[in-house]
Structure 1
Amino acid sequence: MNTPLFADLAAWIDSVLSAPLPEGIAAFHFNLYDSSTTYDLELVGAPTYDPEDSDWACDDIFMSSSPRFEIASEAVGPDWEAGLQAISQMILRYLDAASAGASRLKAARAVSLGFVDGDLHLVWRAE
């Protein structure tokens, strides 16, 4: 795994989650945008989480401010499936770290990742 890329991603997530968050976030979702040369991430917080409702993350009460975090497509794989898998693994690695940001994410019921016009992929869920 690309260690400098992971370190930059972790720093970005830490920065986003160091700001005050609104009360009532039940789950977090990383929106993934696909351009010709990058994948761009933004983090949203939703007041509800329903694993049976594929639109639960659409009702956000928190959204990370600009700029989105950019990941060069060539750094994570040759196609969108490889990119999604690599980014998911980095987020899971982040969640396993002992950081304040990881603790904030895991205080919610779930963390997911997905392309803005695609399916949500569960990365982590509280037991």
Structure 2
Amino acid sequence: MYKDFEKWLNNVIEKGLPVGQGLCFNIYEDGNCSWSIELVIASSFDPEDDDWASEAVFCSDSAFSWKQVAEWDDVLEDAIQILLKYLDEGKYADDLKNRYAGISTGFVDGDLEHLYIKE
């Protein structure tokens, strides 16, 4: 699944991302064991207040979707591992970490997990 995610994310980034403070990968359930991730850029980033992610200045025009028979918490953990792998070795990992004050993920109606916070 990582290679497909990497291809999707590289494509989104190559189309151009706006200036912002926070980058969030919103996860949501589509039903029938289908899940999706969309990339959101927010005008602010506050690791103490998850509402920063609702101040979107950009949302990817496509989502990365996949099938997985699992509970939401297992899907979240799998997504975190894929995102951390990208932030460690992905083509645009350094660019994302340089451009944004924080990178997080989580379900749209849940708490955020911070994957990267710029020092």
- Shared topology, TM-score over 0.5? yes
How far did 1:58 drift? 0.3
The one-letter code matched in structure 2 to 1:33 is Y
Which one of 80, 87, 97 corresponds to residue 79 of structure 2? 87
How far did 1:21 drift? 2.0
Whether contact under 8 Å (2:6, 2:90) holds in the other structure is: no
Give CA deviations for 1:34-72 in whole Å, capped at 9, x if unaligned.
Answer: 122211010000111111212000001111112x11021
Q: Distance in 1 between matches of 2:16 and 2:30?
A: 30
**TM-score, L = length of structure 1:** 0.86
Matched residue, 1:73: 68
Q: Distance in 1 between matches of 2:90 and 2:30?
A: 32
**TM-score, L = length of structure 2:** 0.91
Matched residue, 1:29: 24
Is 1:110 the counterpart of 2:105? The answer is no
- Aligned to 1:117, the other structure's residue is in SS state coil
Would you say how many aligned residue pairs link Structure 1 and Structure 2?
117
Q: Within 5 Å, which residues of 2 pair with 1:45-56? A: 45-56=41-52
How far did 1:19 drift? 1.4
Whether contact under 8 Å (1:17, 1:104) holds in the other structure is: no
Is 1:8 the counterpart of 2:34? The answer is no
Identity %: 36
Which protein is richer in strand relative to its size?
2
The runs of at least 4 aligned residues of structure 1 exceeding 6 Å deviation read none
Consecutive unaligned residues in structure 1, runs of 5 or more: none
Is 1:125 the counterpart of 2:95? The answer is no
Tell me: CA distance 1:35–1:97, structure 2 relative to 1, closer, same or farther (3 Å): same
